[in-house]
Structure 1
Amino acid sequence: MTTEQQHQQQQHPSHAHARAQIAILDFGSQYSHLIARRLRELHIFCELYSCLVTKEELFGGTTEDDHPKQIIGIILSGGPNSVYDPKAPHVAEGVWKEIEERKIPLLGICYGMQELAHVFGGKVAPCEKREYGKATVVVTTAPSTTPDDGTTADGSGDDDVSPLLAGLPNEFDVWMSHGDKLHEVPTGFRAVAGTSNASYVAIENLSTQMWGIQFHPEVTHSPFGKDLLRNFAVNIVGAKQDWIMSDYAQEFMQDVRMKVGEHGHVIGAVSGGVDSTVAAVLMTRAIGHRFHAILVDNGCLRKDEATQVLKRMRDDCGVNLRCVYAQDRFLSQLKGVTDPEVKRKIIGGTFIDIFQEEAKMIEEENGIHCDFLLQGTLYPDVIESVSYKGPSATIKTHHNVGGLPASMKLKLIEPLRELFKDEVRELGIALGIDEVSVWRHPFPGPGLAIRILGEVTPERVAILQEADAIVIEELVNSGHYRKIGQAFVVLLPVKSVGVMGDGRTYENVACVRCVETTDYMTADFYHLPHDILGRMSSRVINEVVGINRLCYDISSKPPATIEWE
């Protein structure tokens, strides 16, 4: 990727600056992205930043092209460090100064509360015993430190009710995950809740508009967590619940027209999945046929997929799409290859070569030049790049158009980079895209090549295509498809003995994988009813020549991954 592309990828769309937002400062918690998800579920716009973000990066307005951001609230996430460790991360002094001067409401969660204590004179030290899992919080009624006018933050004048805990029971269950705890409350703060293991699990300073909690309201194990976050974001911060997808679409289209201009052209690769479909439709609505989409059939797509994608995107959605049929080219290079990483790299490299060739052909045929590249980056990808911990360890290489070589010198346009997967689907519905496209399960870039364990051959691809089509059909017909995050069939590199009719068979074994997930970072196997599993098995074994045994994968992520390779 070029320096210019990298710079473009780091920039937020201009309309993100104008929109009021709650900033989440990430200290490396595994739950940080869930804070953003919970706020988005409340229709509140928020963004995630590294806890080491500078004042200039967080608040903007330092250059002529960088408009000030409307930061109306700040949340400090949890994290794995001890706040008193010399190497522990801390919020920059310049950021603290801005927060205090502007009196921006702030909520510290777990490590975030300990960061408050570290800055404002409290004492954090190890717990007598580490607290992980369920705990019961008891709301306390100690006298409060109130603003000069004698009222609490919500103006009620009731000293005993914390606005953060308003409407919550006096006792409620939460999820804890910490080895340190607060031993002394910071200056100006009061304790408003505790547990049997820690006296100070919720603190507040109404004068400075700062709150801290030791537990994690963002996880589903904290039943009242969303209510607490609503109290902070809506009642305390005053955030508007106006994060609406139809508005987002209009804002993006206006922005891209300004960016591309009246005569600019955009090129992009599409797969027919929900991300690329929504991005392509958005771009088409913005600039029409000046967007040039390319679908590459690598020979490892699902049954009839290229035909279906062409119909849905070109015929139904009006996207200017051309399909490149390159099955032989890909499969010939995969001959004899069994290592999954090598498969991915071959497919990724070949895809780039074809994409460059097609881009050049489009420009030569139409006498145009494409300056921009459409990419379907989602917000979880952005979170990985801005996280305090940085990108996670590489479990497997991801096939992505972002790996285009420097010679292409394209500027990125990423219409979905502020959205989670469920928000992309919501946007697709708002755009009027059909439900089949919007609710289509994710499909990996290398396609069936990484669902065929061992060598990829035309014969094995055909076997897997037939089996996969049957399984998906049964899930749709039984009403389970929409309840599942991802479902597919894996062709194993083993054979088993079977009996069909009066004869012995020695054929392939396949395995069905169905998982429940919302963020694809964790997943549990889907508890599919046995009668449906029975129908799948019967149909696959009877209708697909080459398979005589069907298994069901009951492993979760972690420790397993969703895909097998």
Structure 2
Amino acid sequence: MQEKIIILDFGSQTTQLIGRRVRELDTYCEIVPYNKFPKEDPTIKGVILSGSPFSVYDKDAFKVDLSEIRGKYPILGICYGAQFMSYTNGGKVEPAGTREYGRAHLASFCKDNVLFKGVRDCSQVWMSHGDTITAIPDNFKKIASTDKVEIAAYQIEGEQVWGVQFHPEVFHSEDGTQILKNFVVDVCSCKQDWSPASFIESTVAELKAQLGDDKVVLGLSGGVDSSVAAVLLNKAIGKNLTCIFVDHGMLRKNEFKNVMADYECLGLNVIGVDASEKFFNELAGVTEPERKRKIIGKGFIDVFDVEAHKIKDVKWLAQGTIYPDCIESLSITGT
């Protein structure tokens, strides 16, 4: 089973970037909502807490009980994640007066701390926060400062738990990747053996195990997302996958014919449906863009549903989409 780092998403706009940086270290990671930690997963090697648009003392701030995680996995809190751990353990987080946004430099840091192995003197880091940690609990140890932020990083004494108020994931943090590597590799002991190729192998194996001899139907758009999903499923279950490609008349000239030929070359079992006249009739006289979108969306579902019901004994409906859409489909607010 593929080992992984879990990123708990507290709503930061750079959460996806944290995930990218971890994967660039040849380590698999998954981003999940802050309150959806996957319990009892033996492949988890460590946890990263993201930033957030909220202050820790806001009534709407995202909060979670970390007691089941702390002590079981190494933890790295970034920005809000660092403030949240300090605040909920008795530390103080206060408004910084003016929002600190931009470059800063590590004026001092504990060079013997594993998190800062290989980090250069006065290394540039990127700050983006309106609050700052002004006091840490007694069992927390300050391990870094900048010229403006006294507690730029800390470690809980006797524990594999760190917090940094800067963003190591962004390009402007010069040694940010090194800091993340120190956590992911040196602390969490990840082997750096993951790659997109290994992801394909593991995904196909998981699909085979999950689906067995079941039949699956998938709606194709002609785009990359659904096509990749179809290819992966085809590798796993072959003829038990049936794809439906609906031409709604909005494709480029000859695109339906050309894409169908491409799917044939990929060995996919595809039913092509030319429903362009249906869509043209329903869109006639409609000028409002949002109404057009809804007509096309409903029309696709209607056509797909009719064709899908012609296939016997289907147990699964497959969908291909991009990873950020998976996060948005299960938002951190639960809506």
- Contact 2:47 2:74 (8 Å CA) reproduced: yes
Match among 118, 129, 136 for residue 167 of structure 1: 118
**Corresponding residue SS for 2:83:** helix
**Corresponding residue SS for 1:330:** helix
- Identify the residue that residue 39 of structure 2 maps to in structure 1: 59
**CA radius of gyration, larger in:** 1
Supply the AA of the counterpart residue of 1:139. S
- C-alpha deviation, 1:107, in angstroms: 0.7
Supply the AA of the counterpart residue of 1:185. I
Distance 1:352 1:385, change over 3 A: closer
Supply the AA of the counterpart residue of 1:305. E
Map 1:449-460 to 2 at 5 A.
none
Distance 1:386 1:265 in 2: 26
- Identify the residue that residue 141 of structure 2 maps to in structure 1: 190
Do residues 335 (structure 1) and 284 (structure 2) align?
Answer: yes
Supply the AA of the counterpart residue of 1:289. K
C-alpha distance after superposition, 1:445-483 (max 9, x if no partner): xxxxxxxxxxxxxxxxxxxxxxxxxxxxxxxxxxxxxxx
TM-score (norm 2): 0.93
Do residues 317 (structure 1) and 300 (structure 2) align?
Answer: no
- C-alpha deviation, 1:69, in angstroms: 3.7
C-alpha distance after superposition, 1:396-433 (max 9, x if no partner): xxxxxxxxxxxxxxxxxxxxxxxxxxxxxxxxxxxxxx
- Identify the residue that residue 196 of structure 2 maps to in structure 1: 245
Match among 349, 353, 368 for residue 298 of structure 2: 349
Match among 289, 310, 316 for residue 239 of structure 2: 289
Distance 1:89 1:136, change over 3 A: same
Supply the AA of the counterpart residue of 1:216. H
Supply the AA of the counterpart residue of 2:292. K
Map 1:26-45 to 2 at 5 A.
26-45=9-28
Map 1:121-136 to 2 at 5 A.
121-136=90-105
Distance 1:51 1:284, change over 3 A: closer
**Corresponding residue SS for 1:182:** strand
Coordinate RMSD, CA, aligned:
2.0
Distance 1:303 1:220 in 2: 41
- Identify the residue that residue 220 of structure 2 maps to in structure 1: 270
Distance 1:385 1:241 in 2: 29
**Corresponding residue SS for 2:114:** coil
- C-alpha deviation, 1:345, in angstroms: 0.8
**Corresponding residue SS for 1:284:** helix
**Corresponding residue SS for 2:236:** helix
Q: Which has the higher contact order (CA 8 A, sep 6+)?
A: 2
Supply the AA of the counterpart residue of 2:105. T
Do residues 116 (structure 1) and 85 (structure 2) align?
Answer: yes
- Contact 1:384 1:390 (8 Å CA) reproduced: no
Distance 2:160 2:131 in 1: 24
Supply the AA of the counterpart residue of 1:58. P
C-alpha distance after superposition, 1:87-119 (max 9, x if no partner): 533221xx324422x3x2111111111112113
**Percent identity, aligned pairs only?**
42
- Contact 1:33 1:383 (8 Å CA) reproduced: no
Distance 2:315 2:103 in 1: 53
Across the two proteins, how many residue pairs are aligned to each other? 335
- C-alpha deviation, 1:360, in angstroms: 2.5
Do residues 380 (structure 1) and 324 (structure 2) align?
Answer: yes
Supply the AA of the counterpart residue of 1:319. L
Distance 1:261 1:74 in 2: 32
- C-alpha deviation, 1:210, in angstroms: 1.2
- C-alpha deviation, 1:86, in angstroms: 4.9
Map 1:412-427 to 2 at 5 A.
none
List alignment gaps of at least 5 residues for structure 1.
1-17, 61-67, 142-159, 392-565
- Contact 1:26 1:387 (8 Å CA) reproduced: no
Distance 1:349 1:193, change over 3 A: same
Bigger strand share: 2
C-alpha distance after superposition, 1:301-338 (max 9, x if no partner): 01221121111111x11111121111111111111111
